Amino acid sequence: MPAPLVSVGLISAAVLGYQLLLMRLFSIVYWHHFAYMMISLALLGYGVSGTVVALWRERLSRHFPVAFVINAALFGLAQVAAFQVAQRVPFNALEILWDARQPLFLLLLYGLLFVPFFFAGNCICLSFVCCNAATHRLYGADLLGAAGGCLLVMALLFLLPPLSALRVIAALGLLAAAVGAWRLRLGPRLAAVLLALALALPFALPAPVGTPVPNEYKSLSRTLQIGGARVLEERSSPLGLLTVVESPRVPFRHAPGLSLNAAGEPPAQLGVFTDGEGFAALTRFDGDFGKLAYLDMMTSALPYHLLKAPHVLVLGAGSGADVLQALSHEARRVEAIELNAQMVDLVRDRHAGFAGDVYRRPGVQVHVAEARGFVAASQERYDLIQVALLDAFGASSAGLYGLSESYLYTVEALQDYLRHLRPGGLLSITRWVSLPPRDALKLFGTAVVALEHEGVAQPGNRLALVRGWQTVTLLVRNGEFGAEDVARIRAFSDARSFDIEWAPGIAAWETNRFNRLDQPWFHEGATALLGEGRAQFIERYKFNIAPATDDRPYFFNFFRWRTFPEILALKGRGGLPLLELGYPVLVATLGQALLASTLLILLPLRLGRAQPPAVPRTRVFAYFAALGFGFMFIEIAFIQKFTLLLPHPLYAVAVVLCAFLLFAGLGSRYSERLQGGVWRPVLAILPLAASYLLLLPWLLRFAVALPDALKIPLAVVLIAPLAFCMGMPFPRGLAALASHSPSAVPWAYGINACTSVIGAVLATLLAIHLGFSGVIVLAAALYGLAAMAFPNHGGGAVSTITRSGKSDNRSGRNGSGQA
Amino acid sequence: MTYFAGFILLAGAMLLGAPGSSCADAADRHAVPRARLVREIAAMAAQDQAETGKPSISPRVMEALARVPRHKFVPVEHEQRAYENRPLPIGYGQTISQPYVVALMTDLLQLKPGDRVLEIGTGSGYQAAMLAELTEAVFTIEIIEPLARRAEAMLKNQGYGKVQVKVADGYYGWPEHAPFDAIVVTAAASHVPPPLIQQLKPGGRMVIPLGSAFMTQQLMLVEKDGQGRVLTREILPVSFVPLTGKH
């Protein structure tokens, strides 16, 4: 049987593209952690295909060409259909803890989205079963296709709105069917019909609506309910969908945390929403700074009262509010960093007139870059580094991560910022007030640790924390605050009815005066975090406020199991908002995936009539499960590690994922020539992983100053050898199995598919607790386990070294970076 | 002692629940679930009081809760859930808050008969009806016209015709009827509109729930003292201490 290599490559490309696209689409419709949950579960469609093929292997094998082409065609069609139907499911994530029907709707969504993955999985699994002489090349095609799909969808998302991109990706499925029909000799006519269908699909469907409809409780939807509000334009990219809205009848008047003593009304504004949330205000500016007086009535204005004509670096420039604030306080120079080029374009070009050319004013410079990397690479020193109130825009709105990693608020990040301050310079970070305090105290503790790491003996003398009714601003000074500084902080706060929660020499009675809490939580927390009992305080606190680090970059995860039952018991008394949903959703995703996978893996054993394989099933299971987990762990940890090196998180995903898939694919093809078990690649993987673990932090620190053009090749060079070796074990194991127990091939495939899905979710969960270094160590151990369990016939763990077999790992597809 | 107080509250609420239902609808099948909800809230408030020592929800507010037919203010499809202690969707991306939170908010206003009260964000009209149970002069502003019309009609229909409803931008308050003894701002805003602070009487109270749809994170109470100075209190709906264990 000729192996449909090109077809398999196309299907893999479409699957990966579809997966990233769904993430994009559902981040617009829902919220990203729910999008992540749905897609992870839907990916188990791959596991189901393993089960189905295992149960009906013989019948399906007899009609392989027809079965392959039908499944490929159905895959193409189901991609569009599943999403269209899914949009009609009235799932409301916000009601999930209130409404018993919501989990059922969610289940329905899994069921719908699972269909296309199931068809695609059938094609690939059947190919492995029926063309087992080509296992290595098939797996290679699978991985190379996925690498191509990753690049394709990134490009598509820059060029087309996401719904149009969906049609192109769906057409790819039909194209795979056409190529398959020709290759498997089902006649040129069928191939031609399918080809025509593939070409027609993007155009034949009713005109694509520009964007999917966001949930009615998202800020954008709620804004559009107001009379007169309308969408001016939309910009879409892999970083998110930007929607510009004007609301002339009820102006936006966005001024978060504005002092209650403020008198005026903010000028006219346009609203810029990211994925229907994350409101940013584009403020009209006509050159009259008097109209911007309100910007001085927010906690974030504090640093300007301690500095004269500062040189400012704004991290997270967004739609320009912080730049305006700097200008209205007579900043000498303002450099602003923004991740999303389309956002910059909106302010600098498209609405330049409205925004008063704020990004082109003398002294203002805007850079499109990832903030952290920009600072690390910068040779400048600033009087003020202002971290704007944009919540991890890059990570969360890209929707690529379940629990958003953020490298803006880690201990190392703060150290980086501090090193780029002039003597007497200030780092200023503003966060929302959450009660009981979470962000603010975590941030304060992070600053204390960062200062200690920088060798500061009395961190408390360099810190100030000011709280308004809705926002809180932390100042960290390069040098100690003097009495005059503290007097200015007092004057600033008193005039605006803000509370000083920490400043050198501040007494407890001076805190918690204007915006009173039951207990002076902020001041008590700050004092505890500066004292001897810091570790104990963090331990006793009911939310996770331990400082985030680059290895565990989960600033936004405040969840603690210990508090979970208490909060649930307070549901009736309005206690649910205390629940930080991200983590429980991740755990729920993992639990569901585990349950479903267990069923899928056990089912063929119960129902199947095939003979048992020639090697113990536990070994087959251990081998393919270890590879599924191991591959995902390494891949996801590396995407994270490289986020710090590459100038943009999109590059991190695209470059790292593609490099992994590409070189693993090449490794798979190469492994055909390899003799023996898989000890050789595994013995290469172990030291490589270990050396990266040790060298990477140092290497990244050194490399961050390199020009961008060199960073990408450097990342690829670092990934290539590891990925190359990681591409070998799966096809070798599968080929070994095919040689003595062909009936176990689909089962092994299913195990690997399931564990890859679980592995992606688990990697994030483990990183929260162990850090990404821990995840890499675990992955190495799993590869060791796989080498011991290599499923060759007649050999125990040791003899695998001498026997020849064929094998490797296929988790790449699911590795698509949904973690 | 606190349990005793809770009991009185509970008994009072049950007594009030029954006659209250007769005036609205002779065969009010919602009377029983409503009374149950009131009992539930009374019990929770009593528990909160026992844990924290803060004063419980006032009997007047509990009486109002026992009288207002919440099921009339939610969309028909949610009528059966009207007396569950949970927020409900009312369309247009808006929600009606959890009854426990509504009771707390209303309680924070400390309304006396005859007080003038302004509400920004009429929504379903339920909160306005609660206010109307406590005082004569209730003014409410809603920006989404169909919501305003629906709420206005329902308020009239349920005997709260004296509530004045206006479709307008709530930012500027209602100067013609200012100053107010109390203001409730349920509409989302990134800041407290200065005109509303101006329209608050010295000694007046303003309550603002902060959070998102289905989630009231915290309640902000803005108090204007006799000299016109403005102070705020930030209140969690629940009694929740962020530290475990004792020193």
Shared-domain flag, residues A515 and A596: no
Which of A478, A512, A540 marks a domain boundary?
A540
| pLDDT cut 70: percent of chain A above it | 94
Shared-domain flag, residues A513 and A592: no
Shared-domain flag, residues A477 and A589: no
pLDDT tens-digit readout, A412-428 = 999 999 999 999 999 99
Letter string b/e over residues A223-251, b meaning 16 or more CB atoms within 10 A of that residue's CB: bbbbeebebeeebbbbbbbbbbbbbeebb
What is the rounded average pLDDT for all residues in chain A? 87
Please check whether residue B74 lies inside any domain of the structure: no
Please check whether residue B78 lies inside any domain of the structure: no
ipTM given for this complex: 0.86
Which residues 433-472 of A are in CB contact (within 8 Å) with B? 433-437, 469-470
Q: Between B27 and A799, where is the model more confident? A: B27
- Note the pLDDT of residue A392: 35
Shared-domain flag, residues A524 and A598: no
Is residue A443 a contact partner of residue A409, using CB atoms and an 8 Å limit?
yes
- Note the pLDDT of residue A612: 77
Shared-domain flag, residues A478 and A595: no
What is d(CA A569, CA A575) in angstroms, rounded to the nearest whole number?
8
User: Is a pLDDT exceeding 60 seen at residue A519?
Assistant: yes
- Note the pLDDT of residue A809: 36
Determine the residue among B94, B190, B223, B231 to mutate to test chain A binding: the one whose Cβ has the most chain A Cβ atoms within 10 Å.
B190
For the sheet with A333-338, list strands across it.
A364-368, A333-338, A311-315, A382-387, A421-432, A471-477, A463-467, A499-502
pLDDT tens-digit readout, A467-504 = 999 899 999 999 999 999 999 999 999 999 999 999 99
Partner residues linked to B210 by β-bridges: B218
Structural domain boundaries enclosing A708:
5-209+583-815
Provide the CB-side half-sphere exposure for A757 (13 A, CA): 32
Please check whether residue A219 lies inside any domain of the structure: no
Structural domain boundaries enclosing B247:
84-247
| Mean pLDDT, range B127-148, rounded to an integer | 95
| Mean pLDDT, range A734-746, rounded to an integer | 90
Strands A333-338 and A311-315: parallel
Please check whether residue A569 lies inside any domain of the structure: no
Task: Identify whether B97 is a catalytic site residue.
Answer: yes
| Mean pLDDT, range A763-767, rounded to an integer | 90
Count of structural domains, chain A = 2
- Note the pLDDT of residue A583: 82
Q: How big is the A-B interface in CB pairs under 8 Å?
A: 149
CB-based contact, B194 to chain A, within 8 Å: yes
Strands B137-142 and B116-120: parallel
What is d(CA A320, CA A282) in angstroms, rounded to the nearest whole number?
7
- Note the pLDDT of residue A326: 96
Q: Is A70 exposed, middle or buried (0-12, 13-18, 19+ CB in 10 A)?
A: middle
- Note the pLDDT of residue A207: 59
- Note the pLDDT of residue B5: 45
The beta-carbon neighbor of A260 closest among B95, B222, B241 is B222
Most distant CA atoms of chain B, gap in Å: 57
Count of structural domains, chain B = 2
Shared-domain flag, residues B134 and B43: no
Partner residues linked to A280 by β-bridges: A272
Residues in B closer than 8 angstroms to A566, CB to CB, are: 240
pLDDT tens-digit readout, A276-325 = 887 889 999 999 999 999 999 999 999 999 999 999 999 989 899 999 99
- Among the residue ranges A659-668, A748-757, A797-806, B88-97, the one predicted with the least confidence is A797-806
| Mean pLDDT, range A365-394, rounded to an integer | 83
pLDDT tens-digit readout, B170-200 = 999 999 999 999 999 987 677 889 999 999 9
- Note the pLDDT of residue A454: 96
Shared-domain flag, residues B53 and B113: no
Residue A383 pLDDT level (bands cut at 50, 70, 90) = very high
Which of A485, A506, A540 marks a domain boundary?
A540
Which domain CATH number covers A652?
A: 1.20.1250
What is d(CA A665, CA B59) in angstroms, rounded to the nearest whole number?
72
User: Is a pLDDT exceeding 90 seen at residue B156?
Assistant: yes
- Note the pLDDT of residue B120: 95
Residues in B closer than 8 angstroms to A497, CB to CB, are: 230-232
Closest-approach residue (CA) in chain B for A542: B242
Residues in A closer than 8 angstroms to B89, CB to CB, are: 92, 95
Shared-domain flag, residues B175 and B202: yes
Residue in A764, A763, A20, A40 with CA at minimum distance from that of residue A404 = A764
- Note the pLDDT of residue A488: 97
Which of B38, B67, B96 marks a domain boundary?
B67
pLDDT tens-digit readout, A78-120 = 998 998 888 888 888 778 778 888 888 988 988 899 999 999 9
- Catalytic residue (choose from B21, B56, B97, B124): B97
| Mean pLDDT, range A380-387, rounded to an integer | 96
User: Is a pLDDT exceeding 60 seen at residue B119?
Assistant: yes
- Among the residue ranges A413-417, A649-653, B120-124, the one predicted with the least confidence is A649-653
User: Is a pLDDT exceeding 50 seen at residue A805?
Assistant: no
- Note the pLDDT of residue A238: 85
Shared-domain flag, residues B113 and B146: yes
The beta-carbon neighbor of B214 closest among A95, A253, A521 is A95
Shared-domain flag, residues A520 and A607: no
| pLDDT cut 70: percent of chain B above it | 87
Residues in B closer than 8 angstroms to A263, CB to CB, are: 194
- Note the pLDDT of residue A390: 67
User: Is a pLDDT exceeding 70 seen at residue A540?
Assistant: yes
Please check whether residue B146 lies inside any domain of the structure: yes
- Note the pLDDT of residue A572: 81
| Mean pLDDT, range A532-551, rounded to an integer | 93
| Mean pLDDT, range A786-809, rounded to an integer | 55
Shared-domain flag, residues B38 and B98: no
Q: Is A336 helix (H, G, I), strand (E, B) or coil?
A: strand
Q: Between A208 and A484, where is the model more confident? A: A484
How is A62-95 classified by DSSP, letter by letter? Answer: HTHHHHHHHHHHHHHHHHHHHHHHHTTS---GGG
User: Is a pLDDT exceeding 60 seen at residue A769?
Assistant: yes
Strands A364-368 and A333-338: parallel
What is d(CA A728, CA A731) in angstroms, rounded to the nearest whole number?
6
Which domain CATH number covers A463?
A: 3.40.50.150
Q: Between A455 and B25, where is the model more confident? A: A455
| pLDDT cut 90: percent of chain A above it | 53
- DSSP letter, residue B97: -
Residue A610 pLDDT level (bands cut at 50, 70, 90) = low
Strands B137-142 and B164-167: parallel
Please check whether residue A252 lies inside any domain of the structure: no
Shared-domain flag, residues B40 and B100: no
pLDDT tens-digit readout, A114-148 = 999 999 999 999 999 999 889 999 999 999 999 99
